[in-house]
Amino acid sequence: MSEFKVYQDYCLDATLVSNVFIDNYMGNANDAQIKIYLYLLRVLCAHKSCSISDLADQFNYTEKDVTRALKYWEKNGLLSLEYDASKNLTGVRLLDLDSTSNGAQGQIRQVYPPEDNTVTLAPIVQIPLRTEAKTVPAPAASAPAVSAPEKRIYTADDINEFKNSEGFNELIFIIEQYLGKTLTATDIRTLMYLKDDLKFSTDLIYFLFEYCVGKGKKDLRYIEKVALGWYEEGIKTPKEASRSTSKYDKEVYEIMKLLGKNSVPTKSEVAFITRWRNEFGYGLEIISEACGRTVMATDKHRFEYADKILQSWNTSGVKTTADIAQLDERFTEKKTRDQSKTQVPQYKKFSHRDSSSDSDLEKELLSN
């Protein structure tokens, strides 16, 4: 009986996830940490490139959320982060999970050294990761933020103790009034995290919910992100929180929306907006024009792209939208002139061919 070949006419588009990760790590991680790790595996399998900004945009997280998740997995031995002398992230190395020790310790596979401005996301295969910070530095350097504690898993005893604590009923009642719904067990765990781990006072928690609900945000995940930002800024009282939130006026959030951002602005994003308004002196009209062009041109790294546009306009002395129109007109005229210089007029081509033919004919006649 003859042998036969087995083959397929399609390519399986799939991402492999270790059972060790599922059995020993996934249960203790939060949603953001799981999503970031799985997406790194996805990037590896697809041989794609990505960046911190890409990861943040993919899941509507802040860049701090992404960095926090990466550090969480580094702490748990699933990956290794590499930095240059300036403490910029230059490498993310996925580690091989050791199933013989139930995933307690990762083992490093062979990894080729990363090239400049790349981040290796996996063993053997190099995947470039754009590091915008090197090509487009943030306008203002910010001090290292204090890392917030990871949300722990609360036991039944922890929850019962929290429910029996003084002021619990009043806290729950007021928060439910803010949110307009009955709190779930998950919501209560979020409150426990704010109070027990982030050490927020009851007054600060009330102010947090009042502030977020006032902005039309009732999602507990969003509220928790705001709380983490306050914790990293060292905010401990409603007065300090009020001063911090007042820094971001209505126009800041309007610019965020123009760039497709609905989250709380990060320090680097606010630094860009401050640069556009204070250093360049641009109002909302011109910034809106730059944001509109940015959104039409790219889905990612929009702050950096818009900054390039506004920086170019500032260098060209743009003050009004009429100046922008003149720049556009001059650019179009120059482009038309450049194109016309590279094209040979049809009549010249025709004349040249005729002249050549006449010359050849004249030589032939003379030779005869």
Residues 53 and 61: their CA atoms lie apart, in Å, by 9
pTM: 0.37
Express each pLDDT in 179-223 by its tens digit. 999 999 889 999 999 999 999 999 999 999 998 888 788 889 889
The answer on pLDDT for 15 being more than 90 is no
**At 300, which amino acid appears?**
K
The answer on pLDDT for 130 being more than 70 is no
pLDDT score for 59:
83
- pLDDT category, 7, cuts 50, 70, 90? low
Segments of the chain assigned E as strands:
79-83, 89-94, 96-97, 106-107
pLDDT score for 208:
93
Residues 119 and 117: their CA atoms lie apart, in Å, by 7
Residues 90 and 72: their CA atoms lie apart, in Å, by 17
The average pLDDT across 71-94 equals 81
Instruction: Report which listed range, 260-264, 324-328, 349-353, 356-360, is most confident.
Output: 324-328
Express each pLDDT in 141-170 by its tens digit. 444 456 778 888 888 888 889 988 888 999
- pLDDT category, 173, cuts 50, 70, 90? very high
Of the candidates 233, 239, 48, 232, the one whose C-alpha atom is nearest the C-alpha of residue 128 is 48
Question: What are the residues whose beta carbons fall under 8 Å from the beta carbon of 84, sequence distance 6 or more?
Answer: 90
The helix/strand count (H/E) of the chain reads as 17, 4
CA distances from 318 to 130, 282, 313, 321 (A): 31, 9, 5, 8
Cross-strand partners of 314: none
**Which domains occur in the chain, in start order?**
19-135 (1.10.10.10), 156-246 (1.10.10.630), 249-347 (no CATH)
The answer on pLDDT for 289 being more than 90 is yes
Lowest mean pLDDT among 73-87, 122-136, 335-349: 122-136
164 secondary structure, DSSP code: T
Lowest mean pLDDT among 89-93, 112-116, 135-139, 290-294: 112-116
Residues 48 and 30: their CA atoms lie apart, in Å, by 25
Alpha-helical segments (H) within 215-320: 220-233, 238-246, 250-258, 267-274, 284-297, 302-315
The answer on pLDDT for 271 being more than 70 is yes
The answer on pLDDT for 326 being more than 80 is yes
The encoded tokens of residue 237 equal 């009282």
